[in-house]
Amino acid sequence: MKTVTCTAPVNIAVIKYWGKRDENLILPVNSSLSATLGQNELRAKTTVAVDPSFTEDKMWLNDKEQSVNTQRIQNVFREIRRRARKRKGDGDKSKIFSQKIHICSENNFPTAAGLASSAAGYACLVYSLAKLFDVDGEISDIARQGSGSACRSIYGGFVEWQMGTKADGSDSFAKQITPAQHWPEMCILILVVSDQKKHTGSTEGMQTSVQNSRLLEKRIEVVPERMTNITKAIKEKDFHTFAEITMKDSNQFHAICLDTYPPISYMTDVSRQIVRFVHSFNNHSGETKVAYTFDAGPNACLYLLEKDLGRVISLVNHFFPAQDNGLNLKVQGLPVSIDKPSQKDIDALSLPVLPNSIKYLINTKVGEGPQILSDPSESLLTDNGHPKTLSS
């Protein structure tokens, strides 16, 4: 049995991807840009294996067997095998391509967190299969065909997804803008909002937006300028410009959702209170110290610099406390102490206190791209190709 185990990161967009021009190839109507998050906090882990004894392709995701007969999985399989064959030359007779594949994947964070796990998952699947089949070169365009934003999780640091213009999608792939180490002061704080009811799926939602949001036509004109400016800001570590564009683009994405018919609402009253908190804190600080961005759910992702992290967390803990009982919010990820905020800060923000509105925090940073785990003990599959967690 030939096997490979890898991990891949989650990414959070600061210029949002919303709308496809090709549903099958997953080609977007605008370019997007994201930060890749640290994998100690948030990652997908996948083991892929091929063996002559396997009778069919099989996949287990978070201990549940899933069908591989979806268009997206099959597109990924087809493309990986095609490139592997091509690389080995037409004459190659390697049996490996005819062997069935077993896939086992899991996330180190609860799906209930409402964090986009498909990006990390498909990036990890494609990266693992590429290693398994010795496929070199650009593979983010293969990940893109599994889940659009997955292409950005193929690289670490700040990453752009160039929308491309070709009908076959060959120029629609991800590209690293700056490596993970470029901006070490940058912190990413995720506020997991308690209310996690089922939301409109992003695939369905963006389809409807493309069909009937009149304002999306304008957004498509606006994004290129934002891509240029935020890329420059990231390269120059210009936090103010980075933060303003990030917040404006998050707001515009949710505006497009609202302009869709029927309207789509991902943000809740708690999300909006976090927005007010950030603007109030920035006004009080006399400069833009924190940026928020929201994906297809109520959770907030805050970008801020290390020097402000302690002060911001203490204020988040004050205005969005876990309970009325005075216990601190739980923080997952990088260690951070929650101190008592200054009365001056509390008075200046003058916001209501909303207990039980935030479930917990995830404290992370910009991180690396997918990793290979060579230690056999890391494999999620037994020697006979079944999930360790399901074997006894």
- The yes or no reply on residue 240 touching its own copies (CB under 8 A) is no
- The yes or no reply on residue 338 touching its own copies (CB under 8 A) is no
| Number of residues forming the site for its own copies (CB under 8 A) | 26
- The yes or no reply on residue 107 touching its own copies (CB under 8 A) is no
Which of 22, 136, 217, 339 forms a contact with its own copies (CB under 8 A)? 217
Q: What 3 state SS string does 48-104 have?
A: EEEECCCCCCEEEECCEEECCCCHHHHHHHHHHHHHHHHHHCCCCCCHHHHCEEEEE
- The yes or no reply on residue 268 touching its own copies (CB under 8 A) is yes
- Shortest Å distance, C-beta 290 to its own copies: 13
- The yes or no reply on residue 244 touching its own copies (CB under 8 A) is yes
Whether residue 262 is preceded by a cis peptide bond, meaning omega within 30 degrees of 0, is yes
130-146 burial: b if 16+ Cβ within 10 Å, else e:
bbbbebeeebbbbbbbb
Q: How far apart are CA 7 and CA 370, in angstroms?
A: 5
Residue (of 331, 215, 219) closest to 263 by Cα position: 215
- The yes or no reply on residue 279 touching its own copies (CB under 8 A) is yes
Number of alpha carbons in the 13 Å side-chain half-sphere of residue 267: 23
Residue (of 250, 10, 200, 26) closest to 111 by Cα position: 10
Site for its own copies in 132-151 (CB under 8 A): none
User: Would you give the binding string for its own copies spanning residues 58-97, x where CB under 8 A is met?
Assistant: ----------------------------------------
- Beta carbons within 10 angstroms of residue 340's beta carbon: 9
Residue nearer to its own copies on the CB measure, 40 or 280: 280
Residue nearer to its own copies on the CB measure, 47 or 260: 260
- The yes or no reply on residue 241 touching its own copies (CB under 8 A) is no
- Shortest Å distance, C-beta 283 to its own copies: 9
List of residues contacting its own copies (CB under 8 A): 214-215, 217-219, 222, 244, 247-248, 251-252, 254-256, 258-263, 265, 268-269, 272, 275, 279
